[in-house]
Amino acid sequence: MIGNRGMPTDSIDDSNQLVKGCPCYREFGDEKVCLNNDGILPINAISVDPSFFNQLNSKVMLEECKSDNKSMCYLLMFLDRDEGFCYCVSQNQRVRISKKDVRATEIDNALQFVTTSEKNRDGMLCSECLYRYLRTLGESSEGLLTDDERSEIVANYVRQLATNMAVQLSGYGEKDKTRPFNDYLWDYLREINRKRSHWASMILNMMKAGASDDLIELIDSYRTLASLESVFLFQVLSLDDPSNETDPLSVLRFMVGVSEKVIAVNNLIRERTTDLLERNEIPSNVSEMLSHHSKARKATEYNFSNLASALHKMDTYTT
């Protein structure tokens, strides 16, 4: 399998069109997300051998290979040699970083670079390293800030805002300060993952009971919120990792993306809940359970809305 330390050294197949791995794939603890088009999408990732798509030899055939599941990731890219762009095989989308399409030649150059300079003990190439190459040396890096002093300002600003946000989300207070904050946050992360498992189990039970698609989608939105909060907090914990070489601007825009995604999911929850209540399609036991979670959900949305506003101001300043 391809993890955050991602791609085998035989990443390009014989036809030089299919590449195992993707620079937009990222792992945050137990969560896996896609950063394509500068978005934040929780995904289910599987490593598919290129030979499974041996019939794929042109962009036209990508639609036939596309997954019906929008959150499925094959960890496989198609390099279109005719037009010169890179495509996600599972979703039939162009790979985009920093609002720019990634070119096939960039992937070729990046693979040569990380092959010689970024290997782990198993000789595996790193998806994160590939992403970092494209952000710093590829064409998609044009226009990014490089000034060290302003970069440090961004890093400190993001760290301060993100840490304050983590304190609010986790409920870390005076009574908890006998423990290091990071230890407390790891425990809180485990609690979030338990909640995520609870939502997943509830979805399975509803599917078995023949619940409506709209009701299942509502519950799945709560599961998505738990995943996004987990991704955000894992990123906060990584900020203090001395081995973390992520560009502060990348972290800034990543956190903006997570915040916007949380807001969008909350809007969807409100719309879906109102619609189901009007149709009287939420069982009383489910309604009571959702009411219990509603206060915490609204507080989370409020916190992320404030964070998105503050980060947007900083992102505008640094652009």
Nearest to 31 by CA among 202, 168, 195, 182: 195
Q: What percent of the chain has pLDDT over 70?
A: 76
pLDDT tens figures, 126-172: 666 677 667 655 554 444 434 565 566 667 777 877 888 888 888 88
Lowest mean pLDDT: which of 9-23, 124-138, 225-239? 124-138
Which range marks the domain in which residue 90 is found? 18-141
Same domain, 123 and 192: no
pLDDT 10s digits, 266-318: 999 999 999 999 999 888 888 888 888 888 888 888 888 888 877 766 655 45
Domains: count for the chain: 2
In a domain, 174, yes or no: yes
SS3 72: strand
Q: Domain end: 85, 119, 141, which one? A: 141
Please state, in angstroms and rounded to a whole number, the distance separating the CA atoms of residues 298 and 315: 25
Residues 24 and 84 in one domain: yes
pTM of the model: 0.63
Asked if 94 and 183 sit in the same domain, the reply is no
Tell whether 166 and 293 lie within a shared domain. yes
Whether 79 and 217 map to the same domain: the answer is no
Work out the average pLDDT over 210-233: 92
Give the pLDDT score at 224. 93
Structural domain includes residue 7? no
Name the burial class of residue 6, with classes exposed (0-12), middle (13-18) and buried (19+) by CB atoms within 10 angstroms of its CB. buried
Same domain, 48 and 113: yes
Q: Is residue 29 part of a domain?
A: yes
Tell me which of 144 and 114 has the higher pLDDT.
114
Q: Which of 16-25, 34-43, 269-278 has the lowest mean pLDDT?
A: 16-25
Task: Classify residue 84: in a domain, yes or no.
Answer: yes
Q: Residues 86, 170: one domain? A: no
Query: Would you tell me how many other CB atoms lie within 10 Å of the CB of residue 296?
Result: 13
**pLDDT bucket at 117, cuts 50 / 70 / 90:** very low
Rounded Cα distance, 203 and 261, in Å: 21
162 and 304 both lie in a single domain: yes
Same structural domain for residues 185 and 280?
Answer: yes
Do 155 and 245 belong to one domain?
Answer: yes
pLDDT at 95: 94
Do 219 and 98 lie in one domain? The reply is no
